Amino acid sequence: MREVVAGAVIGDGRLLLAQRTYPTDVAGLWELPGGKVEAGETREQALRRELGEELGIEVRVGRQLGDPVPLRADLVLVALAADLIKGSPRPEEHSAVRWVETPELESMAARGELVPADAAWLDDLIELLAVR
């Protein structure tokens, strides 16, 4: 079983979303950025590496957010809360990034603009934003 780790990154009280460019079924939709955990890495290490590579940011990784979401029989997606500690996100592999507050996140979810797996965490994300 492989894991994909996604970061619910909070900066200045807002949540970071990144717009996917591939595959075609999710291209244009917004996700919590992250990627696959490599052999020998912890989830935290993988998330810090992916966010550095994809966005050039440093984060402090916190607790697991919500429940894991099965992607395929051999792949599961796990979200971790994280705080931005350094840098300003520059999309290297995404088409754009944006910082959102709860109302915007809710509108995006209602319009189906989040990748389907991440939409399962909507309530957890709203709760995370409420305490920041």
Task: Identify the residue among 26, 109, 122, 126 touching ligand CDP (CB under 6 A).
Answer: 26
Q: How far is 122 from 94, CA to CA, in rounded Å?
A: 21
Task: Identify the residue among 8, 9, 16, 31 touching ligand CDP (CB under 6 A).
Answer: 31
Pick from 18, 30, 14: nearest CA to 117: 30
Pick from 18, 1, 9: nearest CA to 83: 9
Region of 30-38, 58-66, 104-112, 123-131 interacting with ligand CDP (CB under 6 A): 30-38
Region of 29-37, 58-66, 102-110, 124-132 interacting with ligand CDP (CB under 6 A): 29-37
How far are the Cα atoms of 30, 67, 96, 131 from residue 16, in angstroms, in the given order? Answer: 10, 19, 11, 16
Residue 115 near ligand CDP by CB under 6 A: yes
Residue numbers at the binding site for ligand CDP (CB under 6 A): 4, 6, 26, 31-32, 34-36, 71, 77, 115, 117-118
